[in-house]
DNA sequence: TTTTCGCTGGGCAATCTGCATAGCGGTGCG
DNA sequence: CGCACCGCTATGCAGATTGCCCAGCGAAAA
């Protein structure tokens, strides 16, 4: 899948995203063309989706995060999806196995504001029930490097 | 917090991360120095955390995602945190209110492999119970642009 | 009114990019 | 064994971009 060099390249880019291809090639001790080729390949394969800016919702004024488990009326899945995707505070949505049918990540301006967001979310026929867990701490923020390391060292 | 120009800049960078400051200034119809200054400010404020590569776990050989709700023995929180952070397949971890005490996102190489990951996760004294929901579909992948739009248009 | 601040528009040297070249060594195949 | 293929190295070059600087200007704040 990916080899050590790919892994090191991804780690390097994760640590210092501002560096260019040339600087990366120096750090890795390989030719510039090699880094260029690896990067192109990683992006073509979809391993690297892109280099979009990582925006912190808290800094945007949405310091409260919560996860909501939703129970959906049978056959309403598609409509619920499009309803939820129209709510900006819904940062992601998954359909899952288990007791709930969907799991979504929400943000809000405050705990009070979270009520407004949840109301907006459940204000839809297809949603039978929602149970919400507010995030208190985030000991492990979304990360990928440890996995990249493991995958590249196989 | 952030104004329209900031919002447009973030949207632009999200759509086409490869463009530089100069090109961005052309697209936005402002001077290069302005874009430079806005970017610096957004990063200094923490609104933009960085431009790390977005890696797709599926392309790395981990196509299965799951969310696990963990129940923790009182007073064992800190140890559990460090235990979980040492597991590469744990992509993020939150402590939450509600029935569970923690919620974590896992990935695995297959449904069968997920068992191994879960075993590794719960192989720790402090964890009383784990209930797992496997992700089937991801109708709304992690996104931030709608929120940026809303925040910048206030 | 004066000061401060953000934006503009320009300039400059140093750097990087995209693209192309050629050589080299390892691998798979007939 | 000989050959073609592929990835990596190394290098070159023109054009674009970056980081940094400055002076002017208009609006908002003091």
A115 pLDDT higher than 90: yes
Q: Distance, angstroms, CA B153 to C1' C14?
A: 39
> CA–CA separation, A96 vs A77, rounded Å?
12
Q: Distance, angstroms, CA A18 to C1' D8?
A: 25
3-class DSSP assignment, residue B73:
coil
- Residue of chain B with shortest Cα separation from A87: B146
pLDDT recorded at residue A154: 78
pLDDT recorded at residue A118: 97
Longest dimension (CA), chain A: 59
**Interface residue A100 vs chain B (CB under 8 A):** yes
pLDDT recorded at residue A77: 87
> CA–CA separation, B149 vs B8, rounded Å?
8
**Interface residue A56 vs chain B (CB under 8 A):** yes
**Cβ distance A68 to A39 under 8 Å?**
no
**Which residue is closest, via its CA, to the C1' of D20?**
B33
Interacting residues of A31 by C-beta distance below 8 A, sequence separation 6+ = A25
A99 pLDDT higher than 90: no
pLDDT recorded at residue A117: 97
pLDDT recorded at residue A89: 98
Chunk chain B into consecutive blocks of 10 residues (it has 154) and report each block's average pLDDT, rounded to whole numbers: 93 93 96 95 94 94 97 91 97 94 97 97 92 97 97 90
**Interface residue A12 vs chain B (CB under 8 A):** no
Q: Distance, angstroms, CA B24 to C1' C12?
A: 21
Task: Name the residue among B56, B90, B139 with its Cβ closest to that of A46.
Answer: B56
A102 pLDDT higher than 90: yes
A101 pLDDT higher than 90: yes
A64 pLDDT higher than 90: yes
CA angle A76/B138/B56 to nearest 5° reads 170
Report CB contact under 8 Å: B46, A56.
yes
> CA–CA separation, A117 vs A129, rounded Å?
15
Interacting residues of A93 by C-beta distance below 8 A, sequence separation 6+ = A81, A84, A85, A102, A103, A104, A105, B138, B139, B140
What rounded mean pLDDT belongs to chain A? 95
> CA–CA separation, A17 vs A62, rounded Å?
25
> CA–CA separation, B4 vs A85, rounded Å?
22
Q: Which contiguous run of DSSP H or E holds residue B69?
A: strand B64-72
Task: Name the residue among B55, B93, B143 with its Cβ closest to that of A139.
Answer: B93
pLDDT recorded at residue B123: 92
3-class secondary structure per residue, chain A = CCCHHHHHHHHHHHHCCCCCHHHHHHHHCCCHHHHHHHHHHHHHHCCEEECCCEECCHHHCCCEEEEEEEEECCCCHHHHHHHHHCCCCEEEEEEECCCCCEEEEEEECCHHHHHHHHHHHHCCCCEEEEEEEEEEEEEECCCCHHHHHHHHCC
- Cβ contacts (< 8 Å) between B97 and chain A: which residues? 133-134, 136
pLDDT recorded at residue A110: 97
Q: Is the CB of B28 under 7 A from strand D?
A: no
Pairs of CB atoms within 8 A across A/B: 216
pLDDT recorded at residue A53: 95
Backbone phi, then psi, for A28, in 5-degree steps? -85, -10
- Cβ contacts (< 8 Å) between B7 and chain A: which residues? none
**Interface residue B85 vs chain A (CB under 8 A):** yes
pLDDT recorded at residue B77: 87
Backbone phi, then psi, for B63, in 5-degree steps? -80, -10
pLDDT recorded at residue A1: 81
pLDDT recorded at residue B58: 96
What rounded mean pLDDT belongs to chain B? 95
A7-56 residue pLDDT tens: 999 999 999 998 999 999 999 999 999 999 999 999 999 999 999 999 99
Report CB contact under 8 Å: A139, B94.
yes
């Amino acid at each position: 899948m990916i080899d050590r060099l790919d892994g090191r390249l991804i780690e390097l880019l994760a640590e210092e995203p501002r560096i260019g291809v040339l600087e990366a090639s120096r750090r890795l001790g390989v030719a510039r063309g090699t880094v260029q080729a690896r990067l192109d390949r990683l992006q073509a394969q979809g391993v690297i989706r892109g280099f979009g800016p990582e925006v912190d919702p808290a800094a945007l004024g949405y310091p409260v995060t919560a996860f909501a488990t939703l129970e959906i009326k049978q056959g309403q899945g598609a409509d619920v999806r499009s309803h939820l995707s129209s709510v900006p505070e819904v940062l992601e949505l998954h359909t899952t196995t288990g007791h709930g049918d969907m799991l979504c990540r929400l943000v809000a301006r405050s705990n009070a504001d979270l009520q407004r967001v949840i109301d907006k979310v459940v204000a839809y026929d297809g949603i039978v029930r929602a149970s919400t867990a507010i995030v208190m701490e985030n000991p492990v923020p979304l990360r990928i490097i440890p996995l990249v390391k493991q995958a590249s060292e196989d």
